Amino acid sequence: MSTSETDFSEELAARRKKGIPPGLWVACPGCKKAIFRKEIDKRLGVCPECDFHYYVSAKTRLEQLLDEGTFVECDNNLLPVDPLTFADQKPYVERLKAEQKKTGLTDAVITGTGMIRARRVAIGVTDSAFIMGSMGSVVGERLARLVERAEVQKLPLIIVSASGGGARMHEGILSLMQMAKVSAALARFDQAGGLFISVLTNPTMGGVAASFASLGDVIIAEPKALIGFAGPRTIEATIRMKLPNDFQTSEFLLEHGYIDRIVRRPNLKSEIARIIDYCHG
Amino acid sequence: MLDYLPFEQPIADIEQQIESLKKLPEPTAESMQKLRHLRKQLADTTRQIYDNLTPWQTVQVARHKNRPHTVDYLSLVFDEFVELHGDKFFRDDRAMRVGFAKLDGRKVLVVGHQKGRNFKDRTENFFGCAHPEGYRKSMSKMRLAAKYHLPIITFIDTPGAYPGIGAEERGQAYVIAENMFEMSRLKTPIVCIVIGEGGSGGALGIGVGDRVAMLQHAYYSVISPEGCAGILWKSGEHAEKAATALKFTSKYLKEFQIVDDVIEEPLGGAHRDHHQTAARIKSYLVKSMKELTACKIDEMLANRYSKFRQMGRYLESSLADEEQTNSTAQFNGAIG
């Protein structure tokens, strides 16, 4: 029911948390085989045996998508605060510090401009390692400014979502309103003729799925990503039924008509460039 | 007979005493005196309790089974209601009511979540949890309203959008996003009122407008207190703690500039006096409509945008700027 569900099946949780485990050899969560780590790295974090897409950080994602040395970060001077003086088992301020230290990020999104095969774009990437990639005030504000910047500079807009947490609970209602804020900015961008390509990666849930991630003119997803509104456990608890195997995956969404293409990570860059050329060329 | 909430026991006790006094066959001067005293005591006790509701008690009031719902306001606030059922997509979602109505002689479109009073209604209405078809129905009629310049009024009262297999198959995330996206630019005045539960995305899906108000004892939250407790405290039993931590009562929402106005409820909550609550909602709507229709459309849309655009709290530090070396840091907005 909430937009902030953070529950996954165990396999998906393992996938998200572990990323590519350290060590020379990796036991792939997809095919259970021992895979040589360098082979995964070489394929941008994709298993050579079973095509399992590992977690990649926002920074790595930007490196994978953008032409080398072209990224200019914006609004990294916007920093999270604790408007509710929120504390669960840990105060939010401490949680923020710990997450910042763990990820090297100031909040769950990096935004800026760069080039994709020599096409200048405005780009934002959320990182599921920072409080589940959830959207609080800083994520909302950075994205809204990114959309406005894309509009002013007439750039195609790309947002890559990796947000299992949806709207961030720790900032309460202020987080929920970021959904409306970014959606309103996208409506203006649309009115001005802007192109928005939304890229969904594992996982994209709750308030992120129910706002900007679903509003792309073209929506692309990586294979087998978990994408949906309510968390699978919430749904199971509500309807008291076992969920179908492929439920809330990219393939499920493609079948039901909510995404346009499933694109493997190694092809993502050229595919985005191709769509830009159709609409923005 | 009212259903008393656990913390209303002192109220129940006094009301019981009043009832038994009223039943006396021959009222004496003494009993009349006592009755007057009890009535005053009742008002004082009710005020004492309701002025100091905890967030968790507020949630219980917002969910009270006798609290007025959208259909109650449809008959108490408006002169007529012409329901429009069709979503032209899947089916008529009874958790979402949409139709033309007359507000003090003005033609409007009303959209609202509907929970239902008895078990049968509640089941048919999915307890006020709308499916994608409900949001689609609301959007198609809101577009129609904008086409003919009819102002839109929405009543928000949902625990959340429905979590289910069909809901996901039919694009629950997409329809909520689409509703916010379109409502932010619809060329007609929109007034939204949270009348009970403002449950996360399901609420916001009909919650983007020029004026957003809430009833005094309603709540509006990113997540239900039970859901939040389940995730952050690992057990739904901590819902009371979560309710306090989330700061989702009307007092905080006004402070955070999420709602423009808080509509005061009658003494002891909306469930004690539907007519009085409806009258206050009506006067708020009439006043807001007058102000908004006097506004130029472009100006109104610009105001609507900046209203949502400024929501959020963060630190904007110039320290991170490469060129600046001074250490000024400023908050966006005041933090309460």
B272: left (phi over 0), alpha (psi -120 to 50) or beta: alpha
Task: Check B221 against A187: CB less than 8 A apart.
Answer: no
Average the pLDDT over A203-208 and give the result.
Answer: 97
% of residues, chain A, pLDDT over 70: 93
Task: Name which of B232, B226, B194, B257 is nearest A137 in CA terms.
Answer: B257
pLDDT, tens digit, for every residue of A64-117?
999 999 999 999 999 999 999 999 989 999 999 999 999 999 999 999 999 999
Q: Which of A16-25, A129-138, B324-333 has the highest mean pLDDT?
A: A129-138
pLDDT of A241 reads 86
Query: If pLDDT is split at 50, 70 and 90, which confidence band does A276 have?
Result: very high
Structural domain including A101 reads 57-280
Cα→Cα distances A16→A201, A212, B35, B54, Å:
11, 21, 66, 38
The whole-chain average pLDDT of chain A stands at 92
Partners of A177 on chain B (C-beta within 8 Å) are 204, 258, 308, 311-312
Predicted confidence (pLDDT) at residue A3 exceeds the cutoff of 60:
no
The answer to whether residue A40 is domain-embedded is no
Residue-wise pLDDT for A214-231, tens only, equals 999 999 999 999 999 999
Q: Tell if the CB–CB gap between B185 and A177 is shorter than 8 Å.
A: no
Does residue A44 lie within any of the structural domains? no
CB contact under 8 A, A2 and B224: yes
How far A65 CA sits from the closest chain B CA (Å)? 25
Nearest to B112 by CA among B151, B145, B166, B153: B153
Q: What is the pLDDT of residue A171?
A: 98
Q: Do B168 and A241 touch (CB under 8 A)?
A: no
**CB-based contacts of A62, cutoff 8 Å, min separation 6:** A71, A110, A114, A123, A125
Residues of B within 8 A of A77 (CB-CB) are: 316-321
Size of interface A-B (CB pairs under 8 A): 244
Quick one: pLDDT at residue A18? 54
The 10 Å CB-count burial string (b at 16+, else e) for B281-308 is bbebbeebbeebeeeeeeebbeebbebb
Residues of B in contact with A179 (CB under 8 A): 177, 180, 201, 204
| Residue A90 at interface with chain B, using a CB cutoff of 8 Å | no
Q: Do B228 and A2 touch (CB under 8 A)?
A: yes
Q: How many residues does chain A have?
A: 281
Going by pLDDT thresholds of 50, 70 and 90, the confidence category of residue A257 is: very high
- Look at residue A269 and tell me if it is in a domain: yes
**A110 part of a folded domain:** yes
* Nearest-by-Cβ selection for A180 from B160, B308, B332: B308
pTM score of the predicted model: 0.93
> CA-CA distance, B164 to B151, in Å (whole number)?
32
Taking residue B139's Cβ as centre, other Cβ atoms within 10 Å add up to: 22
Considering only the beta carbons, identify the residue of A77, A171, A210 that sits closest to B176: A210
Q: Is the pLDDT of residue A17 over 60?
A: no
> Cβ separation of B308 and A171 shorter than 8 Å?
no
How far is the alpha carbon of A194 from chain B, nearest alpha carbon, in Å?
Answer: 14
HSE at residue A55, side-chain half, CA atoms within 13 A, is 26
Which residues, at least 6 apart from A35, have a Cβ–Cβ distance to it below 8 Å? A25, A26, A27, A28, A47, A48, A49
Chain mean pLDDT for chain B: 93
The pLDDT score that the predictor gives to residue B175 is: 98
Name residues whose C-beta falls within 8 Å of residue B234's C-beta, 6 or more positions apart in sequence.
none
Q: What average pLDDT does range A147-169 have in this prediction?
A: 97
pLDDT band per the 50, 70, 90 thresholds, residue A168: very high
Checking if the pLDDT of A2 tops 50, the result is no
Residue A233 binned pLDDT confidence (cut-offs 50, 70, 90)? confident
Query: A232-240 contacts: CB < 8 A, separation 24 or more?
Result: A232/A7, A232/A8, A232/A9, A233/A5, A233/A7, A234/A1, A234/A2, A234/A5, A234/A7, A234/B163, A234/B227, A235/B163, A235/B164, A235/B165, A235/B168, A238/A1, A238/B162, A238/B163, A238/B164, A239/B164, A239/B165
- Confirm whether A46 is domain-assigned: no
Residue A52 lies in a domain: no
ipTM score of complex: 0.93
A80 contacts B173? CB cut-off 8 A: no
Q: A residues 93-122 near B, CB within 8 Å?
A: none
Hey, what amino acid is at B75?
S
Which residue ranges in chain B fall short of pLDDT 70?
Answer: 1-2, 319-336
What is the CATH classification number for the domain harbouring A190?
A: 3.90.226.10
Q: At what angle do helices B274-293 and B70-77 cross, to 10 degrees?
A: 70
A253 neighbors B174 (Cβ within 8 angstroms): no
Contacts of A210 in chain B (CB under 8 A): 161, 172-174, 176-177, 201, 205
Res A1: pLDDT:
39
**Per-residue tokens: B264:** 């005061």
Cβ-based contacts of A83 with chain B (< 8 Å) = 256, 313, 335-336
Domain total of chain A: 1
Residue A20's pLDDT is what?
72
Residue closest to B217 by CA, chosen among B195, B201, B202 = B195
Q: Which runs of consecutive H residues, i.e. helices, occur in chain A?
A: 10-18, 37-42, 58-65, 92-103, 137-153, 172-191, 206-209, 232-239, 250-255, 268-280
Enter the tokens of residue A226.
């978990």
pLDDT at A133 over 50: yes
Is A45 a domain residue? no
Q: Is position A197 within any domain? A: yes
A179 at B interface, C-beta within 8 A:
yes
| B209 within 8 A of B219, measured Cβ to Cβ | no
Spell out which residues of chain B touch residue A209, defining contact as CB-CB under 8 Å: 173, 177
Q: Which residue has the higher pLDDT, A14 or B15?
A: B15
Report CB contact under 8 Å: B172, A230: yes
Q: What is the pLDDT of residues A239-254, one digit of tens each?
A: 888 898 899 999 999 9
